[in-house]
């Protein structure tokens, strides 16, 4: 018996002893603690049941792991150490068939299914407690299709994708963090330094292999009804995308940045800088990206652009430079090196991040921004970041072909907070301020939120993430995941479900 078979047998035995062989319909209780499972003796009746289920689930397409397996904790590693969960089973799949088998098996056991690609979900919606996690980490191959199309497995990380496409003179407009997975990023939208010029990552999705929540495998293209839902609403809702065919863009020939810094700000100074940036940044042309990043009392304003400098950027620089402490610029033609600067931290960390609202005009936040900025400047380590949208993201073609609903906004904001293990009082201080700012925006009516920056605390998350598209998405959910097998705390619910 090889190592993999042995693993499977161990898992099957565990499952039978835990009562999973009984196929209890309608039972939603969590898995028994593993200590209890381990101490149960194997009877003849159990052995027969083990053999029966063994026949059912032995497969070359998927290997099941439980907490007893050495590989379990490695497969269960997630980027956010603040929101750890504890699944009963991890199903490591090698293809779409394996995903289908894992889903059917979870249905037999009446377990919820979560789906993990890069493991960067802020709220760890790619895991669960007591359920089954489909781990896609082996689906990380890339190849070229016709017309410079990238065909990539769901668990390819952005840095792997850039390493593959950039030397070939191509670019996939995606996020900047190198360890984010293609799966979650694309299915929730996906924006970054190139989105204003080319659209979101989901706007580059041409075809996909999709295993629905009923276990059926579909090859989907632009004409398939699920495609609209996958673009912005596909993460952890209806099924599992195993492979993506993505349109790519030509690599730019230059990459330039201007960075403004201002230190020791009070809230009045922060507001002046914010207003100046806000009134200028949305006017920048599509090849520019800009972010206003207020970290406690320190401000960084970043502008990146990959064509010649525009008059709009010159005006913005002229407005900001005199009121900032420092302005620096850089220019390069080494695009891979330039992008690597934004890859960020690669190892898991403790954090709480979340979308903090989309808006277009300053008047939409005017009534709460004083309190927001004064909370940020008096909370060291709390980060309020606002990013430019607009440009091609707002294209009406993209709007009609995707369920991503927030295309008309000029800005997307986010809150971030980080701490180290054991820094309990810092964590509590940050989370208190974090919630205060969330409450300020909510009370002010800023409710539209980015699906890829979720927060478990959003009261009306359905509308916030999906706007008016939510009810149509509920119908799609009913069709492709009729038993609500793929689910997490903020997954799309069927219309008749509470
Ligand atoms: C450090 C950091 C930087 C980030 N930077 C950016 C950025 O620049 N731009 C941006 O747009 N976003 C960014 N994000 C947000 C990121 O897009 C989301 O966290 C994204 O969902 C992560 O995808 P993942 O595959 O890594 O995560 P996972 O945790 O594996 O998955 C996230 C969600 O997608 C679902 N999912 C994953 N794969 C599949 C699949 N194949 N089929 C169905 N559902 C699936 C999961 O179930 C889960 O609900 C960043 C996040 C972090 C932590």
Structural domain harbouring 343 = 255-465
- Residue range 106-163, pLDDT digits in tens: 999 999 999 999 999 999 999 999 999 999 999 999 999 999 999 999 999 999 999 9
- Residue range 317-345, pLDDT digits in tens: 999 999 999 999 999 999 999 999 999 99
The residue whose C-alpha atom lies closest to atom 42 belonging to ligand 1 is 240
What is the per-residue pLDDT for 31?
A: 33
- Give the domain CATH number at 26: 3.30.43.10
> Which helix (H) or strand (E) is 329 found in, with range?
strand 326-332
Is the Cβ atom of 131 under 6 angstroms away from ligand 1? Answer: no
Cα–Cα distances in Å, from 26 out to 35, 38, 483? 25, 25, 10
> CB neighbours (10 Å) of residue 295?
17
Q: Which of 86, 120, 135 is the last residue of a domain?
A: 135
- Residue range 88-99, pLDDT digits in tens: 999 999 999 999
In a domain, 75, yes or no: yes
C-alpha neighbours within 13 Å on the C-beta side of residue 65: 20
The residue whose C-alpha atom lies closest to atom 31 belonging to ligand 1 is 184
> CB neighbours (10 Å) of residue 340?
14
Is the Cβ atom of 190 under 6 angstroms away from ligand 1? Answer: yes
Write down the residue that tokens 């430019």 correspond to: 388
- Give the domain CATH number at 191: 3.30.465.10
Whole-prediction pTM: 0.91
Query: Quick one: 94 and 237 in the same domain?
Result: no
What is the per-residue pLDDT for 37?
A: 31
Is the Cβ atom of 188 under 6 angstroms away from ligand 1? Answer: yes
Residue 410: DSSP 8-state: S
What is the per-residue pLDDT for 5?
A: 57
Cα–Cα distances in Å, from 77 out to 13, 71, 74, 146? 24, 10, 5, 35
Encoding tokens for residue 287? 């090849």
- Give the domain CATH number at 284: 3.40.462.20
Is residue 406 helix, strand or coil? coil
Query: Quick one: 427 and 360 in the same domain?
Result: yes
In a domain, 285, yes or no: yes
- Residue range 51-63, pLDDT digits in tens: 655 555 668 999 9
CA angle at residue 376 from 374 to 381, to 5 degrees? Answer: 150
Query: Quick one: 338 and 449 in the same domain?
Result: yes
> What does pLDDT average to over the chain?
91
In a domain, 470, yes or no: no
Query: Quick one: 260 and 239 in the same domain?
Result: no
Query: Quick one: 244 and 261 in the same domain?
Result: no
Is the Cβ atom of 102 under 6 angstroms away from ligand 1? Answer: no
Q: How far apart are CA 236 and CA 201, in angstroms?
A: 17
CB 148, CB 248: distance < 8 Å: yes
C-alpha neighbours within 13 Å on the C-beta side of residue 86: 7
Residue 46, pLDDT above cutoff 70: no
Residue 190 CA to ligand 1 center (angstroms) comes to: 9
Count of domains observed in the chain? 3
In a domain, 498, yes or no: no
Mean pLDDT value across residues 474-497? 94
Write down the H helix ranges in 286-365.
311-320, 335-340
Encoding tokens for residue 169? 């003179």
Cα–Cα distances in Å, from 408 out to 162, 189, 396, 441? 28, 14, 9, 19
The DSSP code sequence of 73-95 is HHHT--SBGGG----SEEEEESS
Q: How confident is the model at residue 27 (pLDDT cuts 50, 70, 90)?
A: very low
Q: How far apart are CA 365 and CA 360, in angstroms?
A: 9
Query: Quick one: 9 and 118 in the same domain?
Result: yes
Residue 172 CA to ligand 1 center (angstroms) comes to: 16
Is residue 352 helix, strand or coil? strand
Query: Quick one: 268 and 404 in the same domain?
Result: yes
Q: Which one of 87, 98, 121 would you pick to mutate in the ligand 1 pocket, going by the greatest count of ligand atoms within 8 A of its CB?
A: 121
Is the Cβ atom of 187 under 6 angstroms away from ligand 1? Answer: yes
Residue 191 CA to ligand 1 center (angstroms) comes to: 11
In a domain, 282, yes or no: yes
Query: Quick one: 314 and 388 in the same domain?
Result: yes
Is the Cβ atom of 183 under 6 angstroms away from ligand 1? Answer: yes
Query: Quick one: 310 and 171 in the same domain?
Result: no
CB 186, CB 244: distance < 8 Å: yes
Residue 133's beta-bridge partner residues? Answer: 90, 114
Query: Quick one: 394 and 352 in the same domain?
Result: yes
Encoding tokens for residue 355? 């979308």
What is the per-residue pLDDT for 411?
A: 98
Q: Which one of 77, 184, 232 would you pick to mutate in the ligand 1 pocket, going by the greatest count of ligand atoms within 8 A of its CB?
A: 184
> CB neighbours (10 Å) of residue 34?
15
CB 250, CB 158: distance < 8 Å: no
Nearest-CA neighbor of 187 among 229, 222, 150, 234?
234
- E strands in 271-320: 288-295, 298-305
In a domain, 391, yes or no: yes
Query: Quick one: 157 and 271 in the same domain?
Result: no
Nearest-CA neighbor of 72 among 83, 86, 82, 59?
86
Q: How far apart are CA 7 and CA 1, in angstroms?
A: 10
Nearest-CA neighbor of 7 among 50, 68, 53?
68
> CB neighbours (10 Å) of residue 453?
20
Please tell me the total number of residues recorded for the chain in this structure: 498
Encoding tokens for residue 406? 């927030």
Question: 463 burial class (0-12, 13-18, 19+ CB within 10 angstroms)?
Answer: middle
- 51-54 contacts, C-beta under 8 A, 24 or more apart: 52/21, 53/12, 53/15, 53/16, 53/21, 54/8, 54/9, 54/12
Is the Cβ atom of 344 under 6 angstroms away from ligand 1? Answer: yes
Q: How far apart are CA 490 and CA 477, in angstroms?
A: 13
Q: CA dihedral in degrees (353, 356, 357, 358; nearest 10)?
A: -70
> CB neighbours (10 Å) of residue 267?
20
Encoding tokens for residue 326? 């420092």
| Rg over CA atoms, the chain | 24
Q: How far apart are CA 497 and CA 237, in angstroms?
A: 14
Q: How far apart are CA 122 and CA 69, in angstroms?
A: 26
Q: How far apart are CA 209 and CA 218, in angstroms?
A: 6
Residue 137 CA to ligand 1 center (angstroms) comes to: 13
**% of the chain with per-residue pLDDT over 90:** 87
In a domain, 224, yes or no: yes
Residue 26, pLDDT above cutoff 90: no
In a domain, 487, yes or no: no
Q: How confident is the model at residue 84 (pLDDT cuts 50, 70, 90)?
A: confident
Query: Quick one: 106 and 163 in the same domain?
Result: no
Q: Which of 105, 135, 165 is the last residue of a domain?
A: 135
Q: How confident is the model at residue 495 (pLDDT cuts 50, 70, 90)?
A: confident
CB 386, CB 364: distance < 8 Å: no
């Amino acid at each position: 018996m090889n190592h993999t078979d042995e693993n499977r047998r161990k898992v099957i035995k565990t499952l039978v002893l835990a009562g999973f062989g009984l196929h209890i319909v309608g039972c939603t209780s969590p898995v028994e603690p593993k200590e209890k499972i381990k101490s149960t003796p194997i009877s003849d009746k159990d052995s027969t049941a083990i053999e029966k289920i063994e026949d059912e689930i032995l497969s070359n397409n998927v290997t099941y792991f439980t907490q007893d397996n050495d590989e379990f904790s490695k497969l269960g590693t997630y980027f956010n150490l603040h929101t750890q969960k504890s699944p009963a089973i991890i199903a490591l799949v090698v293809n779409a068939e394996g995903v289908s088998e894992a889903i059917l098996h979870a249905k037999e056991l009446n377990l919820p299914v979560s789906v993990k690609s890069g493991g960067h979900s802020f709220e760890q919606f790619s895991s669960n407690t007591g359920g089954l996690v489909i781990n896609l980490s082996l689906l990380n191959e890339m190849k070229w299709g016709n017309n410079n199309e990238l065909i990539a497995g769901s668990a390819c990380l952005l840095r792997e994708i850039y390493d593959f496409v950039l030397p070939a003179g191509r670019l996939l407009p995606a996020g900047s963090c190198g360890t984010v997975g293609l799966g979650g990023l694309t299915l929730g939208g996906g924006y970054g330094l190139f989105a204003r010029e080319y659209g979101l990552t989901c706007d580059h999705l041409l075809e996909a292999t999709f295993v629905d929540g009923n276990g059926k495998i579909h090859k989907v293209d632009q004409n398939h009804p699920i495609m609209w839902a996958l673009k912005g609403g596909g993460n952890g809702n209806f099924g599992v995308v195993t492979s993506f065919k993505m349109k790519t863009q030509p690599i730019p020939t230059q990459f330039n940045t201007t960075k403004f810094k201002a230190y020791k700000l009070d809230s009045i100074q922060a507001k002046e800088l914010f207003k100046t940036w806000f009134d200028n940044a949305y006017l920048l042309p599509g090849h520019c990206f800009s972010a206003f990043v207020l970290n406690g009392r320190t401000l960084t304003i970043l502008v990146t652009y990959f064509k010649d400098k525009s008059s709009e950027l010159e005006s913005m620089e002229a407005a900001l430079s005199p009121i900032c402490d420092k302005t620096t610029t850089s220019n390069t033609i080494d695009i891979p090196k330039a992008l690597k600067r934004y890859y960020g931290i690669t190892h898991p960390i403790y954090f709480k991040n979340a979308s903090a609202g989309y808006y277009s005009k300053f008047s939409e936040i005017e009534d709460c921004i004083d309190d927001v900025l004064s909370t940020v400047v008096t909370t060291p380590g709390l980060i309020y970041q606002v990013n430019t949208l607009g440009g091609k993201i707002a294209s009406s073609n993209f709007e009609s072909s995707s369920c991503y609903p927030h295309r008309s906004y000029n800005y997307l904001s986010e809150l971030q907070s980080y701490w180290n293990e054991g820094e309990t009082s810092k964590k509590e201080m940050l989370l208190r301020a974090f919630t205060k700012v969330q409450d300020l925006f909510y009370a002010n009516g800023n409710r539209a939120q980015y699906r890829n920056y979720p927060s478990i605390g959003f009261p009306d998350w359905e509308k916030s993430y999906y706007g008016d598209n939510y009810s149509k998405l509920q119908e799609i959910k009913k069709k492709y995941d009729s038993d609500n097998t793929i689910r997490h705390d903020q997954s799309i619910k069927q219309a008749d479900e509470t």
